[in-house]
């Protein structure tokens, strides 16, 4: 939305916020596989901060998706980068992403995902693989598709998610980091993904409205013709 932000390692003063954000998405039960919240800061640190972690913070005053006031340096989201597998497969990384609820649909997720690719490559990883992208998490699926991730697997009926009365499939998404150019700009990629999403949404809305556009146009033309004849 045009607000200036920065991405960097979490500060000590932000850890309580990250701890609470992770437990919030676990409580939502829609996007992460956990069904029990982290009880202590130590257990949270051991999971989320075990390798490389980053936060997105606003650099100026802003508003959230509810048009409520957002102060400078407020945490908008967070993510981590760490090995997905041990030992001989540790060059393949994984990531966990949290966009603060009141800042969703503002481009925060796209920016984190794009920066994830650059940071992961800079950290020496050769590839990224997301194990469990739930089929009901439409926004996440659109994001990985828009950023060029490849859907390489389907795990049927693997998730018992909150408020969904059937077992949900999960997709595996892969990205070959060796193909990422050295001059890769994550901001440009995030902007391109946003534009692509806007074009797809516009096309979908047009396809829905198209059957009604011609009759409306003809009716308007007839009305104008009648007025001119009078």
**What per-residue confidence (pLDDT) applies to 207?**
54
**What per-residue confidence (pLDDT) applies to 148?**
93
**What per-residue confidence (pLDDT) applies to 136?**
97
**What per-residue confidence (pLDDT) applies to 192?**
77
Owner of token pair 């676990």: 26
β-bridge pairing 62-63 and 69-70: antiparallel
**What per-residue confidence (pLDDT) applies to 1?**
63
**What per-residue confidence (pLDDT) applies to 190?**
80
**What per-residue confidence (pLDDT) applies to 3?**
84
What is the distance, to the nearest Å, from the Cα of residue 126 to the centroid of all Cα atoms in its chain?
A: 21
Point out the residues of the chain with pLDDT beneath 70.
1, 193-230
Cα–Cα distances in angstroms (integers) from residue 104 to residues 65, 66, 76, 110, 126, in the given order: 7, 10, 9, 10, 29
Task: State pTM to two decimals.
Answer: 0.81
Q: Phi then psi for 215, rounded to 5 degrees?
A: -60, -40
């Amino acid at each position: 939305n045009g607000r200036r932000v920065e991405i960097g390692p979490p500060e000590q003063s932000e850890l309580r916020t990250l701890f609470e954000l992770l437990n919030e998405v676990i409580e939502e039960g829609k996007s992460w596989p956990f069904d029990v919240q982290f009880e202590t800061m130590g257990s949270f640190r051991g999971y989320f901060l075990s390798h490389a972690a980053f936060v997105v913070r606003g650099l100026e005053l802003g508003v959230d998706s509810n048009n409520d006031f957002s102060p400078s340096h407020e945490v908008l989201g967070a993510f981590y980068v760490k090995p997905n597998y041990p030992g001989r497969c540790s060059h393949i990384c994984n990531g966990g992403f949290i966009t603060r609820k009141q800042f969703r649909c503002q481009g925060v997720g796209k920016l984190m995902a794009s920066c994830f690719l650059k940071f992961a490559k800079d950290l020496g990883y050769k590839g990224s693989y997301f194990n469990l992208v739930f089929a009901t998490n439409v926004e996440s699926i659109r994001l990985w598709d828009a950023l060029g991730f490849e859907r390489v697997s389907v795990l049927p009926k693997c998730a018992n998610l909150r408020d969904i009365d059937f077992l949900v499939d999960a997709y595996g998404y892969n990205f070959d980091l060796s193909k990422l150019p050295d001059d890769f700009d994550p901001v440009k990629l995030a902007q391109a993904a946003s534009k692509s999403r806007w074009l797809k949404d516009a096309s979908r809305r047009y396809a829905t409205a198209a059957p009604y556009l011609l009759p409306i146009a003809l009716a308007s033309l007839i009305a104008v013709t009648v007025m001119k004849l009078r």
